[in-house]
Chain A
Amino acid sequence: MPDTSLSGQPLKADTFDRSFQVAEMSNWRISPELSAGLKQSLSNTTVDQERPDNEREFLAYVTRPIPKYTRHKIAAILRPRQLWEGTVVECQNGSFVARVIDRTEPSNTDELVTFELDEVSPEDKKLVQPGASFYWTIGVERSPAGQIQNIDRVMFRRLPGWRASSVRDAEREAGSIAELLFSE
């Protein structure tokens, strides 16, 4: 049994996503006029799987519908406009300074940026130490319910702790190197 649109017409594969969103909107009991308008506007939109270059395509991308078969598995969809990788350099009272590397446009200069500790989620605050690594994202997040939100988020990486065996291995390797290179 093929999927059908609201009007009952069979869906082409490439219009499945767009029609799904309209159907989803209809379930929220929005007016038939708005539903029709959305259907019209979305049917004129190209959804690109690559990161889009311009604002119109970007918005189309983040508002694209979630296919039915994956929807229940996804908590939220985050589309970064800009992504940095940061390393904490200095902790101050209520804030911290980090060196950030632009991962969206790597040719940009690195920057030192000051963040407020309140921008970090409570469970991540204990991770804020010199040398700790995080991702800083400015972008758009779509909730499972379809709400769109501009976000500016700092998420710390939870790297594994050092094992005693790793430290022992490093000491042994250092001994071999010292023997090889520094003993003569």
Chain B
Amino acid sequence: MQTDLLCALIPLFPLIGFIINGFGFRRIPKSLAGAIATVAVLASFLTSCFLFGAFLGNANLTSTAGPLKAVLFDWISVGDLDISFSFQIDQLSLLMLLVVTGVGSLIHLYSIGYMKHDEGFGKFMAFLNLFVFFMLLLVMGSNYVIMFIGWEGVGLCSYLLIGFWNTNTNYNNAARKAFVMNRIGDLGFLLGIFWIINLFGTTEYTDVFKQATSLAIGDPEILAITLLLFVGAMGKSAQIPLYTWLPDAMAGPTPVSALIHAATMVTAGIYMVVRSNVLYTLSPLTLEIIGGIAIATALLAASIGLLQNDIKKVLAYSTVSQLGYMFLGLSVTAYTAGMFHVITHAFFKALLFLGAGSVIHAMSDEQDIRNMGGLRKSLPVTFITFLIGTIAISGLPPFAGFFSKDEILAHVFEHNKVLWALGVLGSALTSFYMFRLLFLTFFGEFRGTEEQRHHLHESPATMTAPLVFLAILSAAGGVLNLPGGGWLSDFMAPLFEGSRQVNPEAFAESTIDHSTEYILMAVSAGVALISGIIAYVMYVSRGAVPAPETTERSMPEQVVYNKYYVDEFYEAIIVRPIRGLGDALYSFGEFIIDGVVNGVAWLVRAGSNQLRLLQNGSIGFYVFAMVLSIVAIIALRFFVRF
């Protein structure tokens, strides 16, 4: 009972925050609105911590007793289908809860400083709270439909926040693109849910997974279900072919990019796969497909990141690429490693975005790194924390990213050497574009205008404090799961009982010995280091600056710079044909159908005009017709009995 209440409180706090700020917008002063929103998320964080502590303290729960459930009420109930509004607290939801509310609190705090001068401040904080509410539903739901509520809800908030500055048509288009692309994924997710309902008769995780353990590996229905669910994940977690919305989503205010488009929402796809790990373990083919898509996404996005000049776009492509790494881990059933990377990525990518926000703030809304440079003197805190974030994401020891990425790559190595090599290549690209970004922004000479130079300043404490917190986490996050059986692996192990049962081989002890493991670590760290040094030589020693827009580029460079023309390709093969079809159906299709209807009406009228002639008023003709009819009827009766 008490835990039911606690569970309900966690999403309730941000919901209340949303309602207060939503209704009180323009009446509540900014300082109060900011405080309300931040405290709401902080309260959820503290409640989550309390639940986490209780969970750890309760040995029964962590081992065999199964997850804790809080049923609030019956939501949709039709015949045998019963979908309750209920939450499930287990290792996975607790981890996500802590990340979402923890990082969320810091970003709320940061937003107070970042959005201070915006007239829509209260509305902004309300939307952020609403986002946290839906994100919490997503990770706490005890069945797929509650997850779907959160899933679509965060999509809505993402829409509202990307298009927050809604007088700008480009921003609005970006917001709409994000929502629609996510909806394509959502359709897959929804159909997956239907299939689950028809196969298992329920959507409750515990019941579904229990029944699933009795199925054989490679079951075709499970293949279909997992693929459909993964379509949903592709949309939300920006994988090929549904990734192009995420870079555009950078139109939103920077805290939004940090919270929604880096740390939390975009990892929902990984959460979903880990949550459904039994189903995915049952379907090796799906995992192969995920692996292929993941590595392709990781490399494609990283390569685009190499040439981008917008500080947020670089980070956006980096996010797409890192999400690819997470899926890569999942594809070799390294679920823990995938989740580990979700957590460390939440730390360092939120840090990098917030750092970028601090830079943009200082540069009077300048986002082009070609106009930055030398900022480390005027933004010391931002610089140090950004440096830590860069080292973390590049996979240099001993910061967080090294451990999580290394764990993924080690598992991939066992599974498939080619994938591993590609993964290391991606790692090299990551390190290069990140250090390029760092050097162009913080080193060398200042390249902005005189006015910008004059205005340069370190951000206020509400903004730097979250940076420092996140920098500490990014630096030390690796201790969560040190190589050779860390805390996280032990903690999450019960989640994969079902998977272990259906496919023990996939969870067998690692076959690679320690020396190989060390060599792998050294290779990935070494490659990252070399990339970083190359970037140093190019952008610091030689002081190179990316060419302005107008420069002629070589053919391959041109293609990469324009993001492989994928947006243009979609425009040509999907958007325009649908528009054309809409016009054609409206003008031509409707014309034909209506023509048939009118034609029928015309036939009736023409026919009745002819029939009218029969009524000519001549008695003789009537008698004649009558006699003829009677003869006809008698004759008919003679031939046919009726």
Binding between chains A and B = no
User: Which residues of A approach B to under 8 Å, CB–CB?
Assistant: none
User: Which residues of B approach A to under 8 Å, CB–CB?
Assistant: none
